[in-house]
């Protein structure tokens, strides 16, 4: 049974997007090559990369916000 092709057909018949088909292709290839741990690693790595980029962007936003200091009160002479 060619699992890869069967699921791909099922995805196509369910109007799966090209991205979904590509992802399935990648998951199936990874499973064939490295087993379940490989699939977990594949998805986890994508998520990790996205989180890393998001954290960097959020940090930049926070830094931009943090660069603005509240004005000091004027000393009365």
Residues near another protein (CB under 8 A) are 1, 3, 6-7, 10-11, 14, 16-17, 19-20, 23-24, 27-28, 31-37, 39-40, 43-44, 46-47, 50-51, 53-55, 57-58, 60-62, 64-71
Closer by beta carbon to another protein, 16 or else 76: 16
Compute the distance between CA of residue 18 and CA of residue 31 in angstroms, rounded to an integer.
20
Closer by beta carbon to another protein, 71 or else 76: 71
Full DSSP string of 9-44: HHHHHTT--HHHHHHHHHHHHHHHHHHHHHHHHHHH
């Amino acid at each position: 049974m060619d699992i890869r092709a069967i699921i791909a057909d099922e995805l196509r018949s369910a109007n799966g997007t090209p991205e979904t088909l590509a992802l399935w292709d990648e998951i199936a290839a990874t499973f064939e090559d490295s087993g379940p741990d490989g699939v977990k690693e594949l998805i986890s790595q994508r998520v990790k990369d996205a989180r890393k980029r998001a954290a960097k962007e959020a940090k930049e936003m926070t830094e931009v916000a943090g660069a603005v200091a509240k004005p000091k009160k004027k000393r009365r002479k």
